[in-house]
Structure 1
């Protein structure tokens, strides 16, 4: 076949695929209840935009679909489509779609194009509209909730770690984070001084103690974030065992945790005495601070073993550390409050040592002279 015939064939196929339809037409499109024609509609990030498409049949067609999408998002697609439906001549239709507008969409240029399309297996009708996308003034999202364990016994500590992300336009200050288990009547809170727009941060660990009389079952751990006049929420789920799981046949001693400095590693020791009549395997877990723990140990009956752990604090001031020793038959837990010093200023240390050196040299020279 000659090249020019192939080219004509491709052009004809393209025409058939993208031809305007004689069976339907777009009458109007509303975004969040606002008519898009001749209007620049504002949509805030992190929300679902309701797209109402009004169309009318100008013929009969049995396999029609409506879709809407916004291009330009680097991490995925922003689109929705209706189910297939039938169009009849002189009948009007309303189809509702929802576009989940990402919180991290780049809005350095606020204007994005909304594409609305009606199509079948041969033809289509498409219209484009301009949207004005922008951040909410105040929007903190609970990005993640991490529990020290998803299964816990009565009387045990539960550590709750919360990660926040500020997707709002404004920097936020004096943020209160509350973790609670309403069905157990317990709660705890911590505070975050500030969280700048576009930043993410882990807040200080919140510790809760499951009541000794807690019934076994699944419980919701609820997170509430208060900032200014705004609130955000998150949750996680916890299974509480029907009975306490403390191991009474273990004695644990932890070396004195002190002299901690921000971003400086320091190693400590846990001594475990096995009071049971059989050997047991013991593991160590640390919550509340970046740590590295040693391997599990097997300790014979009546003997003592050791597990070392290294701490690397991130925040100065008072920090809480939860130490958990698990024997497989039960746990030992203890919560330690430790003070973390500011990061060492090595330049100041060098100047101090240099000053001392000068004094020593001066004394030596003075003694030699006399």
Structure 2
């Protein structure tokens, strides 16, 4: 009796085991098959083979798998071909990696009898996968529906690149206030076969328009090759960088760009992170104070080319007023002249001047004294703002000489008088000369006898 019970229990255990095994075994499909597989453009499987040709890929790259699926339901569904259409997915995955799933799956698509389909999937390889010969990985290609599947697999070999770095971690505060310092710690690991020297790490904060608002650069002197990592040489290292943010940096979202340059600058990798910058209240107060101070202490200054003029009656003389706006706002002024009405006429060009912030504008004031305005005269230049209020008075003095025509007439008269004087002198000289000649003739009497002669 006990023997029969034990035998029955053994049979039940075997049946349960078979049922459990059947849960992990899927039948091949009669409605589709894997016709061909390409890895990065190289054919590694065609229909009729049992497994993939061994595949070798570089560890630092992703690789593309292209799967050709063919509908084979013609024979199975001769009477009703619509019943042979089936919804399937294509899945590619790598087995043998203990930390995570390395896989990619297509969207669901419909397979019809006699029709071929192509699906491309990309596999991203983790940078910490082992490349030793003892570590084998398997590449699986599977097409499946809710009942059946078609699967093919083969060995996957990894090749470590000569030069390859990886940003292991970036530590920073994702929320910061304007005016604060943003500390950034970057840890870099060498995954390549070669040692890397003078690795450049640059961190930049960039606004929404792509403008760099802060940056810093540090260097790692040396990173040992991945397989040479030991107590004396390390394949990973960290650097600390500091970004000084402007007090008035606008609030909003910014990008933190981490750029690593290596292999003598021939290779580069970049990571992007988000940073939120909030407004600095002190900056808003400071800006208002600066604006008020600018309006009060700044404004427009006026300089004069000369405070006095030497003029000639009837001739126009000019001087220049220069307006320099050191404030933050555009200012408008008008210029007038007063106190010259009784002895001169005046003109201002332009009479109204608009001076933009940081700009210089000139105004020319012209004064023409009357022909009889000889002497020293005073007048005033008035500068008024846009509301007509007097801003500044400039006192001027003019020394007016008589007209050039009067001087010319006087000179001509002097010339005539001088000529007349010369003529008179010449005449007087001639008269005196004649008189002297006559006196000499009187001294010699013609009737007086000469020696030895007697006249009767």
- TM-score norm. by structure 1 comes to 0.59
Deviates more, 1:124-133 or 1:2-11: 2-11
User: Any stretches of 5+ residues in structure 2 without a counterpart?
Assistant: 1-6, 46-51, 74-83, 227-234, 286-456
Displacement of 1:8: 6.5
Contact 1:184 1:211 in 2 (8 A): no
Question: What is the CA deviation profile of residues 289-334 of structure 1, one whole-angstrom value per residue up to 9, with x for unaligned ones?
Answer: xxxxxxxxxxxxxxxxxxxxxxxxxxxxxxxxxxxxxxxxxxxxxx
Per-residue deviation, 1:44: 1.7
Determine which of 22, 28, 37 is the counterpart of 2:30: 22
| Max Rg structure | 2
Deviation at 1:29, TM superposition (A): 0.5
Change (3 A) 1:244 1:42: farther
Tell me the residue number matched to 2:144. 119
How far off its partner does 1:143 sit?
2.0
Q: What CA deviation, in whole Å up to 9, does each residue of 1:184-232 have, x standing for no partner?
A: 43321111111123333211x2122112332222211211111121111
Who is 2:408 aligned against? none
- The residue aligned with 2:113 is 89
1:92 and 1:43 mapped to 2: Cα distance? 27
Aligned-CA RMSD value? 2.8
Query: Contact 2:61–2:125 (CA<8 Å) still a contact in 1?
Result: yes
Q: Which residue of 1 aligns with 2:165?
A: 140
Tell whether the 8 Å contact from 2:94 to 2:103 is kept in structure 1 after alignment.
Answer: yes
Q: Report how far residue 175 of structure 1 moved.
A: 0.7
Normalising by structure 2, we get a TM-score of 0.49
Aligned with residue 34 of structure 1, among 42, 53, 77 = 42
| 3-state SS of 1:185 partner | strand
Structure 1 stretches lacking a partner, 5+ long: 249-370
Pair 1:185 & 2:213 matched: yes
1:222 aligns with 2:266: no
Which structure features the higher share of strand residues? 1
For residues 221-370 of structure 1, what are the structure 2 equivalents within 5 Å?
221-228=256-263, 229-243=266-280, 245=282
Q: Structure 2 vs 1, CA of residues 21 and 9 (structure 1 numbering), >3 Å: closer, same or farther?
A: farther
More relative contact order in 1 or in 2 (CA 8 Å, sep 6+)?
1
Change (3 A) 1:9 1:52: same
**In 2, are the aligned partners of 1:178 and 1:190 still within 8 Å (CA)?**
yes
Select which of 177, 189, 209 maps to 2:244.
209
- 8 Å CA contact 1:52, 1:97 repeated in 2: yes
Shift of 1:15: 9.4
SS for the counterpart of 1:89 is coil
Per-residue CA deviations over 1:75-116 (Å, capped at 9, x if unaligned) read 012122223332211110112222221111111027532111
Shift of 1:160: 1.6
CA distance in 1, matches of 2:241, 2:131: 35
Which of 44, 62, 65 aligns to 1:48? It is 62
Greater fraction of residues in helix: 2
Q: The residue matched to 1:36 in structure 2 has which SS? A: strand
Equivalenced residues, count? 245
CA contact (8 A) 1:51 1:96 kept: yes
From 223, 228, 236, the equivalent of 1:200 is 236
Structure 2 vs 1, CA of residues 147 and 8 (structure 1 numbering), >3 Å: closer, same or farther? closer
Task: Check conservation: 2:196, 2:225, Cα contact below 8 A.
Answer: yes
Describe the superposition over 1:118-142 as per-residue Cα deviations: whole angstroms up to 9, x where unpaired. Answer: 2223322211133321222211122
The answer (yes or no) to whether the contact 1:47–1:102 under 8 Å persists in 2 is: no
Per-residue Cα deviation, 1:232-258 (whole angstroms, up to 9, x for no partner): 112333222222559x9xxxxxxxxxx
Aligned to 2:358: none
